[in-house]
């Protein structure tokens, strides 16, 4: 029930447009009943060879209802579809905004394909809720009441027959359908989601699948899922076919019963013969409003299942809840970490253990250490992607938690090894950092990131498309785009997360040179495996299994001959 109410809530002010569509839908059916009744009267009347003037009202009626039906049908379709597609747009934006609050920590719980399926397929399924679930019962009720009032003019027995037929078709058949199809809607939505998730995964990992010779196995898995989906779909179609056939049987039986009662009334003179066809066709055409009800049950179940999945995602509590206390980042952008401990999940071992360090405003630090030491975790906590419970992080003089996470992220520029490249041009990928940047600003950034030369040798210059995940560019070129973004953003605190990983030594050297220029005068945290060339960094912290075990300048650490010294020597020998 709450899901139903929440879906209504999402409608917001669109309910008015949807109500208007329902209103047009009602008049479409009414026009059809009018058309059938007027035509039946006209044909039956014409058989008695009256003067044309006696038939003129019926002729005008046929014309009027014929045109009205077409106009109302058009308006109903136009208004309802327009409103529904706008509404789906609103639902997608709402869902995306909720996802943003959950990223990245909570989103790890779903496969990207599942999220894609939710935002595309489940939202699409909700269309049925707004189009085929909400209005039809009301339209059917109003039409049946109106038709009963009309039939009561002739004989109450027609009213009883119509009500019985309508109850059978509009209430009992849907109830029976809902019992038979109980779990089918849920199964259908789940199978569709699994299919989409699998497809997305396969496309995303197509290179790895091909490299490891697993494409055939993957294709087989997709074929199995497809078979499962087809089986469920054919069950749904079969059942819908049976329900449709039963529905038609009820309609025709009702008309047959009406005639069965009406013919003796005509014989006994209680009903004028000219109205026999009018009564029968009025009853038949009124069922146009009742016929969709058995399927409404199926669409209701399907949209509830889709909505349940959507709400299950958006109702996850974000890992970081803003406890905004009106504090805005000021001029003091020093970062002080005091006794910070962090674990990803309760009952798991701490990944960061009692860490303390300070980065003064405008100074630079490097956090180095072996793989798995917790370097990236520290960064995620600083960027407010994960919540910390033990210890303190101060930005200026205030606890990081007291700032709005949006404000925190606004003062950071991040250059990471995994900076996402959108499948767009180089220019668009850079402008992501500041879409309204002036041409002069943009040109300067290109020069500083040493991209201007790169762009010259590319066939379409800055308009070259970078391809999926930027794979059409070299690693160095991708990193330069990430640096250009950071330059354009021009935020006061710079985070460099393994900015040169995977690059050859020459490119690495060149990129580090560019980054050193970028670091000048900015509070910088550099996370790196690369221990050589850290002489310009003010302080180096050596992290091992979540603990800071050494700190100092490069010179001091080398003199100490501890872990840094060993790793440094090892890397230098390898190079």
Ligand X SMILES: Nc1ncnc2c1ncn2[C@@H]1O[C@H](COP(=O)(O)OP(=O)(O)OP(=O)(O)O)[C@@H](O)[C@H]1O
Measure the CA–CA gap between 418 and 475, rounded to whole angstroms: 10
Q: Is the dihedral of CA 521, 522, 525, 528 positive or negative?
A: negative
Instruction: Supply the minimum distance, in Å, between the C-beta of residue 344 and ligand X.
Output: 4
Options 282-290, 291-299, 374-382, 426-434: segment touching ligand X (CB under 6 A): 374-382
The residue (of 110 and 300) whose beta carbon lies closer to ligand X is 110
Binding marks (x or -) toward ligand X, 166..185, rule CB under 6 A?
Answer: --------------------
Measure the CA–CA gap between 278 and 40, rounded to whole angstroms: 5
Phi, then psi, of 423 in degrees rounded to 5: -75, 70
What is the residue whose two structure tokens read 């038939």? Answer: 55
Instruction: Supply the minimum distance, in Å, between the C-beta of residue 376 and ligand X.
Output: 3
Instruction: Supply the minimum distance, in Å, between the C-beta of residue 377 and ligand X.
Output: 3
Binding marks (x or -) toward ligand X, 344..373, rule CB under 6 A?
Answer: x------x-----------------x-xxx
Residues numbered 71 to 110 that lie near ligand X (CB under 6 A) are: 108
Q: Under a CB-based contact definition with an 8 Å cutoff, are residues 412 and 395 in contact? A: no
Instruction: Supply the minimum distance, in Å, between the C-beta of residue 378 and ligand X.
Output: 7
Q: Is 377 in the site for ligand X (CB under 6 A)?
A: yes
Instruction: Supply the minimum distance, in Å, between the C-beta of residue 333 and ligand X.
Output: 23
Residues numbered 380 to 399 that lie near ligand X (CB under 6 A) are: none
Instruction: Supply the minimum distance, in Å, between the C-beta of residue 296 and ligand X.
Output: 43
The residue (of 192 and 375) whose beta carbon lies closer to ligand X is 375
Q: How deeply is 305 buried, as exposed, middle or buried, from its count of CB atoms within 10 A (0-12, 13-18, 19+)? A: buried
In whole angstroms, how far apart are CA 555 and each of 239, 360, 477, 498, 529? 78, 20, 32, 22, 18
The residue (of 108 and 206) whose beta carbon lies closer to ligand X is 108
The residue (of 376 and 464) whose beta carbon lies closer to ligand X is 376
Instruction: Supply the minimum distance, in Å, between the C-beta of residue 295 and ligand X.
Output: 44
Q: Is 502 in the site for ligand X (CB under 6 A)?
A: no
Instruction: Supply the minimum distance, in Å, between the C-beta of residue 386 and ligand X.
Output: 8
Which residues make beta-bridge pairs with 496? Answer: 415, 526
Instruction: Supply the minimum distance, in Å, between the C-beta of residue 322 and ligand X.
Output: 21
What is the residue whose two structure tokens read 């189009």? Answer: 131
Residues numbered 409 to 448 that lie near ligand X (CB under 6 A) are: none
Q: Is 319 in the site for ligand X (CB under 6 A)?
A: no
The residue (of 310 and 543) whose beta carbon lies closer to ligand X is 543
The residue (of 347 and 371) whose beta carbon lies closer to ligand X is 371
The residue (of 285 and 405) whose beta carbon lies closer to ligand X is 405
Pairing of the two strands 523-528 and 364-368:
parallel
Sheet of strand 523-528, all strands in order from the earlier edge strand to the far edge:
412-416, 493-497, 523-528, 364-368, 539-544, 547-552
Instruction: Supply the minimum distance, in Å, between the C-beta of residue 375 and ligand X.
Output: 4
Measure the CA–CA gap between 378 and 359, rounded to whole angstroms: 14
Phi, then psi, of 430 in degrees rounded to 5: -75, -40
The three-state DSSP-derived secondary structure of 440-495 is: HHHHHHHHHCCCHHHHHHCCCHHHCECCHHHCCCCHHHHHHHHHHHHHHHCCCEEE
3-class secondary structure, 18: helix
Q: Is 2 in the site for ligand X (CB under 6 A)?
A: no
Q: Is 375 in the site for ligand X (CB under 6 A)?
A: yes
The residue (of 370 and 467) whose beta carbon lies closer to ligand X is 370
The residue (of 30 and 368) whose beta carbon lies closer to ligand X is 368
Binding marks (x or -) toward ligand X, 259..288, rule CB under 6 A?
Answer: ------------------------------
CA-based diameter of the chain, in Å?
A: 120
* Gap between the terminal Cα atoms of the chain: 65
The residue (of 153 and 371) whose beta carbon lies closer to ligand X is 371
Kindly tell me which residue out of 17, 336, 376, 464 binds ligand X, with binding defined by CB under 6 A. Answer: 376
Instruction: Supply the minimum distance, in Å, between the C-beta of residue 105 and ligand X.
Output: 7
Give the interface size with ligand X as a residue count (CB under 6 A): 11
Instruction: Supply the minimum distance, in Å, between the C-beta of residue 494 and ligand X.
Output: 18
Pairing of the two strands 398-399 and 390-395:
antiparallel
Q: Under a CB-based contact definition with an 8 Å cutoff, are residues 125 and 288 in contact? A: no
Measure the CA–CA gap between 201 and 197, rounded to whole angstroms: 6
Measure the CA–CA gap between 447 and 455, rounded to whole angstroms: 11
The residue (of 138 and 344) whose beta carbon lies closer to ligand X is 344
Segment (H or E) for 353: strand 352-359
Q: Under a CB-based contact definition with an 8 Å cutoff, are residues 379 and 497 in contact? A: yes
Measure the CA–CA gap between 47 and 67, rounded to whole angstroms: 25
Kindly tell me which residue out of 174, 374, 470, 476 binds ligand X, with binding defined by CB under 6 A. Answer: 374
- Contact residues: ligand X, CB under 6 A: 108, 344, 351, 369, 371-377
């Amino acid at each position: 029930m709450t899901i139903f109410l929440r879906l209504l809530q999402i409608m917001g002010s669109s309910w008015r447009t949807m109500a208007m569509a329902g209103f047009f839908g009602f008049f479409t059916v009414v026009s059809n009943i009018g058309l059938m009744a007027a035509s039946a009267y006209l044909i039956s009347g014409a058989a008695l060879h009256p003067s044309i003037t006696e038939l003129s009202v019926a002729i005008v009626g046929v014309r009027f209802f014929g045109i009205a039906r077409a106009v109302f049908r058009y308006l109903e379709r136009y208004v309802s579809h327009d409103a529904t597609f706008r509404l789906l747009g609103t639902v997608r934006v709402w869902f995306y905004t909720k996802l943003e609050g959950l990223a990245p920590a909570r989103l790890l719980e779903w496969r990207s394909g599942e999220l894609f399926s939710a935002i595309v397929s489940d939202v699409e399924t909700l269309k049925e809720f707004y189009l085929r679930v909400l209005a039809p019962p009301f339209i059917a009720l109003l039409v049946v009441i109106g038709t009963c009032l009309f039939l009561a003019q002739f004989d109450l027995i027609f009213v009883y027959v119509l009500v019985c037929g309508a109850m059978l078709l509009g209430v009992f058949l849907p109830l029976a359908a809902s019992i038979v199809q109980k779990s089918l809607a849920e199964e259908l939505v789940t199978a569709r989601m699994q299919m989409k998730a699998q497809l997305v995964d396969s496309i995303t990992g197509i290179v790895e699948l091909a490299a490891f010779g697993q494409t055939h196995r993957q294709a087989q898995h997709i074929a199995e899922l497809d078979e499962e989906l087809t089986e469920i779909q054919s069950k749904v179609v079969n059942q819908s076919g049976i329900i449709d056939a039963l529905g038609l049987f009820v309609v025709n039986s009702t008309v047959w019963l009406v005639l069965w009662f009406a013919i003796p009334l005509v014989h006994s003179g209680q009903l004028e013969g000219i109205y026999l066809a009018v009564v029968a066709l009025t009853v038949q055409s009124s069922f146009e409003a009742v016929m969709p009800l058995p399927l409404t049950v199926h669409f209701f179940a399907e949209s509830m299942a889709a909505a349940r999945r959507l709400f299950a995602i958006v109702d996850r509590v974000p890992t970081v809840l803003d406890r905004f206390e009106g504090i805005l980042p000021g001029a003091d952008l020093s970062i002080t970490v005091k006794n910070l401990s962090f674990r990803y999940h309760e009952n798991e071992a701490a990944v960061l253990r009692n860490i303390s360090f300070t980065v003064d405003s405008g100074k630079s630090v490097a956090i180095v250490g072996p793989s798995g030491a917790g370097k990236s975790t520290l960064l995620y906590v600083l960027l407010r992607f994960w919540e910390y419970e033990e210890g303190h992080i101060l930005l200026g003089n205030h606890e990081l938690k007291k700032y709005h996470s949006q404000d925190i992220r606004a003062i950071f520029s991040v250059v990471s090894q995994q900076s996402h490249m959108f499948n767009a041009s180089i220019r668009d990928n850079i402008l992501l950092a500041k879409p309204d940047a002036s041409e002069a600003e943009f040109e300067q950034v290109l020069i500083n990131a040493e991209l201007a030369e790169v762009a010259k040798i590319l066939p379409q210059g800055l308009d070259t498309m970078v391809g999926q995940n930027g794979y059409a560019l070299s690693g160095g070129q991708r990193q330069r785009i990430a640096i250009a973004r950071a330059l354009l953003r021009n935020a006061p605190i710079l985070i460099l997360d393994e900015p040169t990983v995977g690059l050859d030594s020459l490119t690495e050297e060149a990129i580090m040179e560019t980054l050193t220029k970028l670091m000048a005068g900015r509070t910088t945290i550099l996370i790196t495996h690369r221990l050589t060339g850290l002489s310009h960094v003010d302080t180096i912290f050596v992290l091992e299994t979540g603990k800071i075990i050494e700190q100092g300048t490069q010179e001091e650490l080398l003199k100490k001959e501890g872990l840094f010294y060993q790793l440094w020597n090892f890397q230098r020998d390898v190079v």
